[in-house]
Amino acid sequence: MLRLKKVKKLDNEVTAEFYIEDTSECGHIVIDINIMDIKEYSMPSGWETDFIYLAHARDSIIRMIKENDIVEERLVMWY
């Protein structure tokens, strides 16, 4: 599970903070709308190698872009 917060579209980018599980430290992600992929990111301390969370953050933001429904916060869960 992760939480996307402060999701914002500016020009050809969508930026967001993401919080993994119940952590208080956030990671950051920037999606380039032109290529529909990650332009830059940072992971929260202790989670630097858990890229499954980054992939789910990316996929959720790309889904928002494709659906033209960019919301400021979103809970992302999977099983």
pTM for the full predicted model: 0.94
What pLDDT was estimated at residue 55?
Answer: 98
2-58 confidence digits (pLDDT tens): 999 999 999 999 999 999 999 999 999 999 999 999 999 999 999 999 999 999 999
Q: Is residue 79 a contact partner of residue 13, using CB atoms and an 8 Å limit?
A: no
**pLDDT tens digits for range 45-60:** 999 999 999 999 999 9
Q: Which two tokens stand for residue 65?
A: 């872009």
Give me 19's structure tokens: 């919080």
pLDDT of residue 70: 97
So where are the chain's domains? 2-76
- pLDDT at residue number 73: 98
| Bridge partners, 21 (sequence order) | none
Give residue 11's pLDDT: 95
**Quick check: 29 and 38 in contact, CB under 8 A?**
yes
